[in-house]
């Protein structure tokens, strides 16, 4: 039996979401149609929009449905950049944290390569925090040139949770819109869009127990965006395309349950996370945690994120060895031209390439149990020994 510890990649759908989506799949109706079946579908969409908005402290009119976090990030970054640059040709700079998900990083790099954008990367601390002072210094290099500032709410690799309100305030001091990728945060830690001060927020359903293929960009009504796609003019003329009513309904059900059970679930996962980290460190294998970690703390590190740095190993080797032992997890590495590259997040936090290569991300979710932690601890010694032997043989 496999111990699944890759919930940050995707987590199983909650039963309430499966039931709601399955029921809706049996119904016909395009939410843009004006006849009875179309209006019935539209009612489901709008009720779901209201429930999602309530769950994350937003207004229903601020919820723009998308296909997920990647599309939401692209619409936020490209859409804001183009709108701001068109209004003021001097606004060609993006100020972005160096620890973003590739959905933001690659979007920024596209604009640099193809659209004349410039970027200032904001470096984090050694624990992965983006400090307001660092963001302020980056902006104040030339405030009038900045189109957008973007810092993710919670890091997908090391689980560090940022002080989004303080960061948004820095951006607003200079009249700059602020975007946050909250894909890893929503449904796992308290997220209140209105209270955060952010202008744009990205969320996806499949990280919190909803279906794959649906998400949202939460956008304040006064934010100007240029759409990425054109067609029927759905979603405030910003995201054309037939709305996926069954997926949207499943998204709403999952998010409501996740937020209603957030506090007890965060306590449960924090206890499992701390047990995993303490026992892994206690194996005497030279394992240390990546990012910030204080036992019992779920406000500055995601409750279910256990990130391990294992000296003398390649993360990819560890991943396959653990997989063979029945443990599913992840690394932070990326593959470029067939060659594994160390995590840009860890390098930005100041780790050497050698240390960054020996990273494992083990993430817990709503089905996780103490037996999953036991499985990891049982499998680690053998996997680490074999991975170290393999690295020595190739070095």
Our answer to whether residue 107 is catalytic in this structure is no
SS (H, E, C) 36-91: HHHHHHHHHHHHHHHHHHHHCCCCHHHEEEECCHHHHHHHHHHHHHHHHHHHCCCC
Active-site residue, selected from the candidate residues 107, 313, 329, 335: 335
Instruction: Classify strands 359-363 and 334-336 as parallel, antiparallel or unpaired.
Output: unpaired
Q: Please give the Cα distance from 180 to 200 (Å, whole number).
A: 6
* Residue 122 contacts residue 178 (beta carbons within 8 Å): no
Q: What φ, ψ does residue 43 adopt, rounded to 5°? A: -60, -45
* Residue 207 contacts residue 251 (beta carbons within 8 Å): no
CA contacts within 13 A on the Cβ side of 336: 7
* Residue 170 contacts residue 134 (beta carbons within 8 Å): no
SS3 138: helix
Cβ-in-10-Å burial (0-12, 13-18, 19+) of 297 comes to middle
Q: Please give the Cα distance from 4 to 47 (Å, whole number).
A: 33
> Left (φ > 0), alpha (ψ -120 to 50) or beta: where does 352 sit?
beta
Q: Please give the Cα distance from 381 to 209 (Å, whole number).
A: 32
Kindly state the helix (H) or strand (E) to which residue 299 belongs, with its residue range.
none
Q: What φ, ψ does residue 29 adopt, rounded to 5°? A: 145, 130
Q: What φ, ψ does residue 101 adopt, rounded to 5°? A: -65, 155
Q: Which residues are CB-neighbours of 311 under 8 A, at least 6 positions away? A: 286, 355, 358
| Catalytically annotated residues | 335
């Amino acid at each position: 039996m496999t111990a699944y510890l890759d919930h940050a990649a995707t987590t199983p759908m909650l039963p309430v979401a499966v039931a709601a989506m399955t029921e809706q799949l049996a119904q016909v109706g395009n939410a843009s149609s004006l006849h009875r079946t179309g209006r019935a579908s539209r009612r489901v969409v709008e009720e779901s929009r209201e429930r999602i908005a309530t769950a994350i402290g937003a207004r229903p009119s601020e919820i723009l449905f998308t296909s997920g976090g990647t599309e939401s990030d692209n619409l936020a970054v490209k859409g804001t950049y183009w709108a701001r640059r068109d209004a003021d040709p001097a606004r060609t700079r993006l100020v972005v944290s160096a620890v973003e998900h590739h959905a933001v990083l690659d979007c920024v790099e596209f604009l640099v390569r193809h659209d004349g954008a410039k970027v200032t990367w904001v470096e984090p601390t050694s624990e992965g925090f983006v400090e307001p002072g660092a963001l302020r210094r980056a902006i104040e290099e030339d405030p009038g040139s900045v189109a957008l500032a973007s810092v993710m709410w919670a890091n997908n690799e090391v689980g560090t949770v940022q002080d989004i309100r303080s960061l948004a305030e820095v951006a607003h001091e200079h009249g700059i819109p602020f975007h946050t990728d909250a894909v890893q945060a929503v449904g796992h830690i308290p997220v209140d869009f209105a209270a955060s001060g952010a202008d744009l927020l990205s969320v996806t359903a499949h990280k919190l127990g909803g279906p794959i293929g649906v998400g949202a960009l939460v956008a304040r009504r006064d934010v100007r965006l240029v759409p990425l796609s054109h067609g029927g003019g759905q979603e405030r003329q910003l995201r054309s395309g037939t709305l996926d009513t069954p997926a949207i309904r499943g998204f709403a059900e999952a998010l409501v349950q996740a937020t209603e059970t957030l506090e007890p679930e965060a306590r449960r996962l924090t206890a499992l996370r701390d047990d995993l980290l303490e026992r892994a460190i206690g194996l005497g294998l030279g394992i240390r945690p990546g990012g910030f970690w204080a036992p019992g703390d779920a406000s500055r590190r995601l409750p279910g994120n256990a990130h391990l740095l294992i000296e003398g190993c390649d993360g990819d080797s560890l991943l396959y060895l653990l997989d063979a032992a029945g443990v599913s997890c992840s690394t932070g590495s990326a593959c470029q031209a067939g060659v594994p590259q160390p995590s840009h997040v860890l390098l930005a936090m100041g780790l050497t390439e050698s240390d960054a290569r020996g990273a494992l991300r083990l993430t817990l979710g709503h089905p996780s149990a103490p037996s999953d932690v036991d499985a990891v601890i049982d499998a680690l010694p053998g996997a680490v020994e074999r991975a170290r032997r393999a690295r020595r043989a190739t070095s």
